[in-house]
Each structure stands twice: as structure tokens, then as C-alpha cells.
């Protein structure tokens, strides 16, 4: 997979972007691909327009496009990816908003690149436990949301932590690793379908008939991030379109309780994504 990177930022020069792309390519090749058997190469290309064109994607010279863009295309989102009307995956990294929230744009670029590789069309869901109730919901197939406050350095560039395949299994396996860094919090490492401090998860709740975002109670950093997205009506899977009813999705800030059993399966989501509000 070739991911075309188009630098539409007026504040980040190509000279500054090249080492970041090189570091993320190494992250993909040496850290991500050995676990997921999915790979890609980011490649910086030129631009023929001054404003990103999500429909025509005139400067794509590969399989997908990631734009660096100072302005906020979807307000409140550090970055997101989706597909256009022709089914071509594209994504954005909003550099100014990342700066305002104290997050490095290089981490956002890493985050979006990894998720673009794993779920380019944003249409994969995984059956798993509801975080507080004994029933099954369909979790977003996101590589970094649950651990998005955690980063590490690759070739001097700050990049995003990411989940490993065993994270998406309903029952923890003895000695399993569920995220790349494997950091312990309160003496415990990340569990299957769990959330580390500063992170959150999203899922489609068939009982409610809509998408929900969820973070742990008392997690100020995660709550702040979700509140910003709530105020700005943004979130990666919910930014596509508002549902036909116009009703907002739920923003859940709760404490996880005992999880029920889940069926390990994947399902495809529909196209009616409701706005987080």
C-alpha cells in the first residue's frame, strides 16, 4: 500500500516533514507490520492545488492520501480518515489543533497512518463486550484510540503507541500483549477491549442503534479530549455524516464494570454515522 502524503501546511516545511515520514515508515515496517502482517509506505508528493480536494484527490500517486493541513476541516478532530465518493481512502492531520491540545502533530500523523492501513475504508467492526453491561457491542477497529495518550520515539520522532491483534479477542490469554508498549498502569497492563489512561474507545451499540464513545471515569485527559470533540462535533467514525434522524451519538464517561462474554467476530458497519455532540 502506498500512502501519498500531501503537505498543505504553511507552517511545516517539506524539509521538516521528510524525517517524520522516514521515521513512521520505519515504525510501520519494523514495529507494526511484524504483528499485523499489514504494511504500507508513506511517500511525500507535490501539490497542484492550495486547498485539499477530498473528492478529486488530484495529487494521489498511490492507494490513499494523507493531507497535512493547518486549518480544521472537521472541527475538533486532531486528524481523521475516511473514503471519498469513489471509495478512495484519504485522511487529514490538523497541525494547529494538535498544537492547541498539546499533542505533537507527528503523533497524529503516525496514528492516522496506522489506522489507514488497518481499516482504510472505515467499515470494520469487531464484536466484543460492552464496557459496563453484560452484552455484546461492535467495537471500532481502531489501532490507537485506546492508547492514544501513549507515545514513543522512533529515529528521534515522536510516534503513536498502537494495539496488537490479541486486544480484539474477548478473553485475555495468559502472557498476552495487547499493545505495543505494554506499559503497566496501576500495576496492570492493557486488557482486551480495555482503555489505558488518556485513551477512549468507540463502538456501535445495537441496543441504542448508534455509535458511542467511552472513557473511564476520573480520566481528566481522556475526558478533555472527548469534550473537545463533543463541543466541535467530531470523531473519526462519526465525522462521516450525521444520521438520517439528526440525533447525536452518546458521549459516555463511565467506570467499566465486569464484562460479559463476547463472540469473536467481525462485522461491517453501515454508512449512517451520527455526529458526536
pLDDT of residue 103: 81
> Structural domain boundaries of the chain?
2-268
Low-confidence ranges of the chain (pLDDT < 70): 53-59, 72-87, 100-101, 224-277
The predicted-structure confidence for 199-241, as pLDDT tens digits, reads as follows 888 899 999 999 888 887 777 777 766 665 554 334 444 443 3
Inter-residue contact 241 to 271 (CB < 8 Å): yes
Map 101-157 to HEC letters.
Answer: CCCCHHHHHHHHHHHHHHCCCCCEEEEEECCCCCCEEEEECCCCHHHCCCEEEECCE
Q: Which residue has the cell 463472540?
A: 263
The predicted-structure confidence for 16-29, as pLDDT tens digits, reads as follows 999 999 999 999 99
| Total-model pTM | 0.77
pLDDT of residue 267: 33
pLDDT of residue 55: 65
Inter-residue contact 156 to 145 (CB < 8 Å): no
Q: How far apart are alpha carbons 173 and 127 in whole angstroms? A: 17
Residue 73 CB coordination number (10 Å): 16
> Which phi and psi (to 5°) does residue 21 adopt?
-60, -40
pLDDT of residue 49: 73
Amino acid at each position: 500500500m502506498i500512502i501519498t502524503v500531501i503537505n498543505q501546511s504553511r507552517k511545516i516545511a517539506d524539509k521538516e516533514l521528510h524525517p517524520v515520514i522516514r521515521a513512521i515508515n520505519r515504525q510501520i515496517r519494523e514495529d507494526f507490520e511484524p504483528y499485523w502482517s499489514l504494511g504500507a509506505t508513506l511517500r511525500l508528493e507535490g501539490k497542484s492545488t492550495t486547498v485539499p480536494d477530498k473528492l478529486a484527490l488530484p495529487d494521489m500517486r498511490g492507494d490513499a492520501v494523507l493531507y497535512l493541513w493547518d486549518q480544521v476541516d472537521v472541527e475538533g478532530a486532531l486528524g481523521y480518515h475516511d473514503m471519498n465518493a469513489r471509495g478512495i481512502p484519504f485522511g487529514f492531520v490538523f497541525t494547529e489543533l494538535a498544537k492547541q491540545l498539546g499533542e505533537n502533530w507527528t503523533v497524529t500523523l503516525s496514528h492516522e497512518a496506522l489506522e489507514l492501513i488497518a481499516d482504510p475504508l472505515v467499515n470494520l467492526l469487531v464484536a466484543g463486550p460492552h464496557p459496563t453491561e453484560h452484552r455484546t457491542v461492535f467495537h471500532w477497529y481502531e489501532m490507537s484510540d485506546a492508547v492514544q495518550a501513549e507515545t514513543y520515539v522512533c529515529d528521534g520522532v515522536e510516534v503513536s503507541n498502537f494495539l496488537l491483534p490479541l486486544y480484539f479477542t474477548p478473553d485475555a490469554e495468559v502472557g498476552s500483549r495487547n499493545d505495543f508498549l505494554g506499559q503497566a498502569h496501576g500495576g496492570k497492563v492493557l486488557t482486551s477491549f480495555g482503555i489505558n489512561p488518556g485513551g477512549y474507545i468507540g463502538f456501535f451499540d445495537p441496543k441504542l442503534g448508534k455509535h458511542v464513545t467511552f472513557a473511564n471515569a476520573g480520566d481528566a485527559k481522556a475526558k478533555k479530549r472527548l469534550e473537545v470533540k463533543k463541543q466541535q462535533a467530531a470523531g473519526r467514525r462519526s465525522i462521516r455524516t450525521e444520521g438520517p434522524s439528526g440525533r447525536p451519538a452518546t458521549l459516555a464517561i463511565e467506570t467499566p464494570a465486569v464484562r460479559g462474554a463476547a463472540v469473536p467476530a467481525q462485522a461491517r458497519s453501515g454508512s449512517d454515522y451520527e455526529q458526536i455532540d
